[in-house]
A = this chain, B = another copy of it.
Amino acid sequence: MPPETASSCDVIRGYLQQEDHQALESFIESLSPKETMWAISHLSDEDRHRLICLLSPEEAAELIHDLPSAQVADLLEDIQPAAAAAIVEQMHSDQRADVLEDVEKHHADAILDALPLQTATDTLALMAYSPDTAGGIMVTEYLAYPESWTLSHLIVDLRRNREQYADYQVQYIYVVDDDRRLQGVLPLRDVLLRPAQDLLRHVMIPRPLSVVVTTSLDKLIQVFGQSHFMGVPVVDEEGRLLGIVERASVSNAEGARSDNMFLKFSGIMTGEELRSMSLWRRIGGRLAWLTVNICLNVVAVSVIAVHQDTLAAAIALAIFMPIISDMSGCAGNQSVAVSIRELVLGLIKPNEWLRIFRKEVIVGVLNGLFLGFVLFIVAWGWRGNVWLGLVVGGALGINILVGSLVGGLLPLFIKRIHADPALASSPMLTTITDICGFFLTLTFAAMVLPRLTP
């Protein structure tokens, strides 16, 4: 049976019914990470709960390794703190911190209480770093030895703790001084090639590339883009070694950030929703934005309310107003998207409003002329009234220009005041284009009202 079919879920359910731990484990091991994710998110809350409880903590940690951390957090909230802590203990340090940040406060505290003291302290320290920095992404599983050790000391330690180190991504040995300040690195290869009595201080590569714990994700993406290292050491202000940022963690963080941006841009205010999440979280994340939006809408349509006599006199305008507001919103959103992407790529800086203005004004004028002309023809042809054509065509043309300019500039402005352009740009834009579109249409109409009414 191919594991891609919908029934991988059914197979798991079957084994859960039989409480066949052995078969369950080997079936799950046969699934690819993507299939595992799919199967887990399709189990009922109850089955998921039973599955996690039936597996050993090691197996459970392995199972949920690739799930989005919001989903792991949901799973952990449903089980006893002691059982959750046992699973959390088996995770890598970075995932541990990410997941506990997503777990509700009082659950997280209970889990931290149930962890061994050292692990809890380390995890709290990692949780204190902002998730978009080296500190928030690094792992604390790495190998560091004093520079005064010999290679043979090191090899003895490696052999003795082989089991503990088995999960570490060991490509480099880090060499530190008595204050744990990073002094050098030693590629694992060199450990084999050099005489065993050499001191680490003499065989290490001194002054290695390292990043400070507050280094931003953007900077890390750049560092890994320019090098072929699998990991880069993270140090504090005094140069003391704190952890390792791995290449894979940086790619994952980059992917998570762009997913988050996409969802925020589409009005999921929390930046995260999976359909396996609880109903109230899903509704909350969506309503938060829809409630803001209804207020913005009321502001926008109050322009219509003020001019409703004009509208009543020339009811045909009501047919064209939705076209004008929607088209200008679309044109503006195109500019918003290009600005957000150029900001992320670093192709524009938040103070370059003059450049954006120059680039958007010409696109806005030409698109506005073209589309305004199209609507002029449509309105004139449909209603046989050239004045109606002029009113709606003119309003659309000008409003397309307004949308392009405002859309291009808004993300820069929002970035400058340190808010999130992905979240705020699009709603602010459409409110402005709605207000402006209604105002232009009804004002132009009022100017030629006698010629609009039959």
Contacts and interface: CB of A to CB of B under 8 A. Distances in A.
Contacts of A301: 319-320, 322-323
A275 B32 contact: no
A330 B33 contact: no
Interface in A321-366: 321-323, 325-327, 330-331, 333-334, 336-338, 340-342, 345-349, 351-352, 355-356, 359, 362-363, 366
A92 to B, nearest CB: 14
Interface string A278-290: 0100110011011
Contact of A430 (B258, B308, B326): B326
A242 interface: no
Given A258-B258, A283-B367, A355-B42, A294 B323 contact: yes
A101 to B, nearest CB: 20
A90 interface: no
Among all A-B residue pairs, the 8 with the closest Cβ atoms:
A266-B337, A312-B315, A297-B323, A34-B346, A275-B359, A318-B318, A304-B319, A267-B334
Interface stretch (A47-55, A116-124, A200-208, A221-229): A221-229
A311 to B, nearest CB: 6
Given A259-B341, A262-B265, A290-B327, 17 more contacts: A6-B349, A37-B347, A38-B349, A251-B254, A266-B337, A273-B338, A274-B338, A287-B367, A289-B330, A289-B334, A291-B374, A297-B323, A298-B378, A301-B322, A304-B318, A305-B319, A311-B318
16 contacts: A6-B349, A34-B222, A225-B248, A265-B266, A275-B355, A279-B362, A287-B367, A290-B327, A294-B371, A294-B374, A297-B322, A301-B319, A304-B322, A322-B322, A322-B434, A322-B438
A230 interface: yes
A33 B226 contact: yes
A426 B63 CA distance: 35
Contacts of A321: 318, 322
A363 B322 contact: no
A322 B308 contact: no
A210 interface: no
Nearest to A341: B259
A195 to B, nearest CB: 16
A255 interface: yes
A185 interface: no
A356 B259 contact: no
A41 interface: yes
A57 to B, nearest CB: 22
A126 interface: no
Contact of A266 (B42, B308, B319, B334): B334
Given A286-B334, A320-B301, A346-B38, A363 B279 contact: yes
Given A37-B347, A275-B338, A301-B320, A371 B267 contact: no
Contacts of A266: 265, 333-334, 336-337
Interface in A213-259: 222, 225-226, 228, 230, 247-248, 251, 254-255, 258-259
Nearest to A192: B193
B282 A363 contact: yes
A285 to B, nearest CB: 8
Contacts of A315: 308, 311-312, 315
A318 B309 CA distance: 11
